[in-house]
Structure 1
Amino acid sequence: MTVTRHWSSPITPAEIDEISNLVKADTRIGEKPRFWGIAVEEGLARALADGQGRPVRLVVMNPDEHAAWEITGWSSGIDREASLSGWNPVDAKRPGVSSDEARMVSIAARNSPILKEALAKRGILDSSLVWVDPESITGFEPEDLADRRLSWGTVWHRESEDDNGYARPVAGLVPIIDLETLEVVRLEDHGVLPMASETGNYRSGTWGPDREVAPLEITQPEGPGFKVDGHSVTWQNWSFRIGFTHREGLVLHDIGYQDGDTLRPILRRAAINEMYVPYLDSDPTAYRKNFFDWGEYGAGPLTASLELGCDCLGEIQYFDSHYIDGQGDAKTIVNGICMHEEDDSILWKHVNTRIGESEVRRQRRLVISFFATVANYDYGFYWSLYQDGAIELEVKLTGILSVSGIDDGDEPAYGRMVAPNVQAPTHQHYFAIRMDTAIDGPKNRLVEVHAEVEEDETLNPYGNAVKMVPTTIASEKEAARVNDPSRAVHWRIESTDRTNRYGDATSFRLVLPNTTRLFARPGSVVERKAPFISKHLWATAYDASERFIAGEYPNQAPLGEEGITAWQEADRPLDGAELVVWPIVGVHHYVRPEDWPIMPLQRIGLRMEPDGFFDRNPALDVPSSAAAHCHAPAPKESAHGSTECHCH
């Protein structure tokens, strides 16, 4: 067998099937096993040559025996057949919920006699038009059910098959569901409230005729500027590899910049590692809402196929993505990842008015993206590489708000009205990013920089001298940092082996423009479940076993006992370490009426930019745009006497 895959390439359907078939042949998994996640064991695989089998791990559950295992094995390769190497028991409550398991729960719950009876009290007699979304119950398990694998359900009703069910919450109903037996073991009924009386449909024509929009064409007559070999990409001076995992979705590996004859490494790995969404409302159908969407469900299976819409424009390169479903079968997401170039306004410009000369360069960026649909919300994740050496992550939030019912005449205390008898709770979105740094090599340090007024009047006689104060973060216990724009806080990730021509360590600057804090009482479940959101940046020394900021299995986990806050107790030195930084990007969403019935895009993100990595502007070699592509035709007089100028 000849296999040429690189260790970092996304897992293939063939690898999934060969490992899954070995697991299915084992009698201990029972007649109706459930699978959650298969991934390459990166810590072992990254030292392997191309063509060898890859170490993998996956999770399988036997719901009839309340048992679960983390199974390790090897996929096939040159001189190797697929094999299993270990079965490690895990707490059966704690594996994530697959999309297949969620569908089984929804069907079983809406057919439950006790839920049907409660629906009938609300005039809902056709339960086939009811949705039940299984939600994470971590931290809110009833004491007498604490040994079970549980979920709780949000209940929605559609007036027709194609209705927007998320616009019609069934208020007051909270089914508690045993995920293994697929039964509603308890039903809370907090009283009948009126259903939404207004449509939440968002299709064209629902709210009036579509406006007229002139065509906007994106063309690249000579084709794209990037080159693709399998999952290896080069563009301008950049090179990197594209990966994909069940837990994180899109992963970028080995990001480097070609500087003359030298390929200089910057990041060994970059991915969205976790997403936490706490709702800040004590309403009985909202107070339990707080989710680790990646750790309790998985970004991979939630990835949307981009063949279903117009998400990218221009000369596009798509990559299919693969994952294991709840039955243990390989599934393919066609066009799961998109890559394309975008014009991004001005790169640099100056007009020399003394001689009448203007020099301007237009900026373009390479964008690598994927979208995940998490029930009602849709999240886009866009990594952009720029011609000046910057790296940017933009998270785009859209989709449908998670709403609750409200009685006639009541006003929401902890949210906003968005439609008659429909309120949207205030909530937050936190995104934990994992970046394994490699600035000019594997050994790096983290330095925090802030601004201070120079207090020495002999040095600052006019009162305007400001110094930038660097502080090296020496060890992990110091590496829980808070952003503070009032002090111009930012961070440098420095090489400990290489300096620039000024004698400074070569480095990249990390800026976090979007941060917030959790507005929850200390000791609350929301606060204890995700202690990592209390800070805006964490750092650890690389350890292959420390993969996820919230811990390996956060579903029904002990609150706050695992993950990065536990790892930091080791207090490993960071100066000259293989460094992993974990930025936290957050947004406080106090909703607007304009967010309904579907939310216009909201953008948050982070930026890494070279800070002494180069000796001067690295984009001086970007050529001026050809006149045929950027020209100013003769001014045309408008109806109001002004002039119009067009740039193509």
Structure 2
Amino acid sequence: MTTTENRTTATHPLSRMSAEEIDAARELVTGAGLVQPSTVFVYVGLEEPHKRDVQEFTPGSPVERRLRLLLLDRATGAGRDVLVSVTAGTVVRDTEIDGVADGQVPITDAEFEAIEPILAVDEAWIAAMGKRGLDVADVRAVPLSAGSYFPDEHGHRVVRVLGFHQADPEDLPWAHPVDGVVAYVDITRGVTTAVHDHLDLPVPAERVSLAGTPRDLKPIEITQPEGRSFTVEDDVVRWAGWEFRVGFDVREGLTINQLSVDGRSVVHRASIAEMVVPYADPSPVRFWQNYFDTGEYLFARYTNSLELGCDCLGDIQYFDATIADETGHPRVVRNAICLHEEDYGVGWKHTDMFTGMAETRRSRRLVISFFTTIGNYDYGFYWYLYTDGTVQLESKATGIVFTSAYRGDEHPYATEIAPGLGAPFHQHLFSARLDMAVDAGDGSGNTVHEVDAVRVPVSETNPYGNAFTRSLTPITRESEGGRLTDATRGRTWHVVNPGKSNRLGQPVGYALHPENAPVLLADDSSSIHQRATFATKSLWVTEYDPAERYPAGDFVNQHPGAAGLPAFVQGDAPLEDTDVVLWHTFGLTHFPRPEDWPVMPTDYAGFVLKPVGFFDANPALGVPASTSSHCRGEG
């Protein structure tokens, strides 16, 4: 074992990873002989302790810090999964990843950057571009994850490449897809294994500009003359009774830890644990097109540095994020996370006919967010906390749609968004991992009920047929935990704590309100269905296991399938009165419009967690009345 001195200054088990800890981890694996000149540090992240240990931690106690590293030897394509203790100064675990059975580590920036030089000397690629009158130097090669389709690729690190013409540095390549051609590249050997020239389609020629017709709009300024209402201390945020700890991971991005309200726990940890973008075009050029932006690309490494007045308005608190680069050295993303308050309209209001009361209280919410850019798309993730006890997650999808040549009505899998330019149909499906802890910091004692609105048939007790009620069905085992939304029944899922009651004797709880969007639309027999099984259900419920972090498995890149949630539920653990984790699939099914070009207006998806019997009355009663001179009612 290689040892070094304690190299952490963390004050809490969930403190965000520091530059000093990244340096220590790099030195440990280097000292253990696990780093060669060809080694790339693919992932470095905090290995979070069991939630029980987090709950039992007391300030001032010793903190053990473990970091997980994924290493890639670019010379051989071999991956390693390594766990180090920067507190003890030891390598705790070192496992070689089976590239066939386990899948591959995520694709690195260094590998992406190697693709154009490989294709620039490939005769078949040059010939395909020349056939279309294009100089290969003017074609941007866009490497994309390969999925799992062909046995001869198993165990090899492979990407598939589509081309986009760029006439000059100001020209937007996404406007000029070189459709009909796809290259398969073995990125370890640095060679093209195949170039398929399936269709000779015209390259769309129209150039685009992001400058539109000016609108006559005056500036909006957000001011808080008495300052912010929240406080931040050692990454712990407190606001209007809410408290939580900010976390960040290069795979998941922003995490919300130990979320509580009025001193009572709600969620132990919340994150976007995976997302997949499956495309609908079945042509031989694009049938394979689907990306796991979290598991294959580590989307949070592309986190934007946010700017006041552009990304966030008001009295802002920014958080930098410290991640590791591909040499294992720390890299700081400035202003990676934005925290601020915003007005949210009328929170509650009533004018009473009997008492003459006229009262209004405005709602406000606390916003914590980050934005990341994955190739052509930009994604924002916004967690909102409200004064009435509601928690909301909103994903914002914008950027530029992935384009193709438009082939007309005989190929009904794309929209024409500009002359000759198509945008294939696709989905954006996210998986939120919600490690619940409703009124129980260690998560114990929670049960999930599926709640439906139910019609009551006409009978002696319902002679006029107006009655309806609700059904509450407990989800008792993991084998029952894969559920679908049903808008016709107004289906929600309630996480209740039967051991805690409100003043009416009702169990306290929080309800997950979904948006009733489609789940994965690919056929059950498809490769993407096998690899993204998590996205085939709106909800999965599992018993807490600290090793179960990712709904599509640890190593998604080129994995053959059945990892993650399908494997997690094989044990069929009981789920009543225990420590439960919700995995909620939500997202967008995108049939692009001309209005989505050349840059897409923000599209929204998400979910809401609402208190149900958690409070004894409306918690927003305590919101102060407005002090504006324009809002002074009697009563």
Q: TM-score range by the shorter chain?
A: over 0.9
Find the counterpart in structure 1 of residue 507 from structure 2: 505
1:194 and 2:202 equivalent? yes
SS of the residue 1:87 aligns to: strand
Find the counterpart in structure 2 of residue 424 from structure 1: 423
TM-score, with length taken from structure 1 = 0.91
Q: CA deviation at 1:370?
A: 0.7
1:159 and 2:158 equivalent? no
Find the counterpart in structure 2 of residue 7 from structure 1: 13
* Range that drifts further, 192-201 or 56-65: 192-201
Q: CA deviation at 1:469?
A: 0.8
- Would you say the 8 A contact 2:276–2:291 is kept in 1? yes
Q: CA deviation at 1:71?
A: 0.8
Find the counterpart in structure 1 of residue 234 from structure 2: 230
Q: CA deviation at 1:299?
A: 2.5
- Would you say the 8 A contact 1:99–1:325 is kept in 2? no
2:494 to 479, 488, 492: 492
1:90 to 97, 102, 114: 97
Which consecutive residues of structure 2, in runs of 5 or more, have no partner in the other structure? 1-6
Written as runs of structure 1 = structure 2, the 5 A alignment for 1:310-321 is 310-321=310-321
Equivalent residue letter for 2:383? W
Written as runs of structure 1 = structure 2, the 5 A alignment for 1:266-345 is 266-307=266-307, 310-345=310-345
Equivalent residue letter for 2:405? G
Q: CA offsets, 1:573-626, max 9 Å, x none?
A: 111111100111022111111111111011111000110001111111111100
- Would you say the 8 A contact 2:120–2:136 is kept in 1? no
- Would you say the 8 A contact 1:286–1:404 is kept in 2? no
Find the counterpart in structure 2 of residue 398 from structure 1: 398
SS of the residue 1:172 aligns to: strand
Mapped partners of 1:592, 1:535: distance in 2: 27
1:472 to 466, 471, 474: 474
Equivalent residue letter for 2:510? F
Find the counterpart in structure 1 of residue 448 from structure 2: 446
Q: CA offsets, 1:177-230, max 9 Å, x none?
A: 11212322211112432211211332x3xx4x4222101110011111110012
Q: CA offsets, 1:476-529, max 9 Å, x none?
A: 001111110101211110013201122211001110014213333320223222
Written as runs of structure 1 = structure 2, the 5 A alignment for 1:439-588 is 439-441=438-440, 442-443=443-444, 444-455=446-457, 457-559=459-561, 561-588=562-589
Equivalent residue letter for 2:193? V
Q: CA offsets, 1:152-178, max 9 Å, x none?
A: 112212122132222221112211111
1:73 and 2:47 equivalent? no
SS of the residue 1:307 aligns to: coil
Mapped partners of 1:115, 1:24: distance in 2: 39
Q: CA offsets, 1:225-275, max 9 Å, x none?
A: 1100121100111000000112100000000011xxxx1000000000100
Q: CA offsets, 1:82-135, max 9 Å, x none?
A: 3322211112451011233322334433454432332222222251x4322221
Written as runs of structure 1 = structure 2, the 5 A alignment for 1:367-406 is 367-406=367-406
Mapped partners of 1:14, 1:111: distance in 2: 42
Which consecutive residues of structure 1, in runs of 5 or more, have no partner in the other structure? 633-648
- Would you say the 8 A contact 1:135–1:153 is kept in 2? yes
Mapped partners of 2:451, 2:478: distance in 1: 17
* Range that drifts further, 381-390 or 484-493: 484-493
Written as runs of structure 1 = structure 2, the 5 A alignment for 1:80-159 is 80=88, 82-92=89-99, 94-125=104-135, 127=137, 129-140=138-149, 142-159=150-167
Mapped partners of 1:454, 1:211: distance in 2: 53
Q: CA deviation at 1:351?
A: 1.2
- Would you say the 8 A contact 1:97–1:296 is kept in 2? yes
Aligned-pair Cα RMSD in Å = 2.1
- Would you say the 8 A contact 1:98–1:325 is kept in 2? no
Q: CA deviation at 1:63?
A: 2.4
TM-score, with length taken from structure 2 = 0.93
* Range that drifts further, 89-98 or 299-308: 299-308
User: Following TM superposition, where does structure 1 have runs of at least 4 consecutive aligned residues deviating by more than 6 angstroms?
Assistant: none
Q: CA deviation at 1:28?
A: 4.8
Distance 1:194 1:450, change over 3 A: same
SS of the residue 1:224 aligns to: coil
Q: CA offsets, 1:528-568, max 9 Å, x none?
A: 22112221111000011111110111111122x21111111
Q: CA deviation at 1:410?
A: 6.6
- Would you say the 8 A contact 2:76–2:188 is kept in 1? no
SS of the residue 2:620 aligns to: coil
Written as runs of structure 1 = structure 2, the 5 A alignment for 1:576-615 is 576-615=577-616
Mapped partners of 2:16, 2:127: distance in 1: 47
Equivalent residue letter for 2:98? D
Sequence identity (%): 37
Mapped partners of 2:477, 2:172: distance in 1: 50
Mapped partners of 1:562, 1:295: distance in 2: 12
1:239 and 2:234 equivalent? no
Q: How many residues are treated as equivalent by the alignment?
A: 616
Mapped partners of 1:26, 1:121: distance in 2: 52
Equivalent residue letter for 2:524? P
SS of the residue 1:430 aligns to: strand
Mapped partners of 1:317, 1:328: distance in 2: 28
Distance 1:232 1:180, change over 3 A: same
SS of the residue 1:522 aligns to: coil
- Would you say the 8 A contact 1:300–1:323 is kept in 2? no
- Would you say the 8 A contact 2:519–2:586 is kept in 1? no
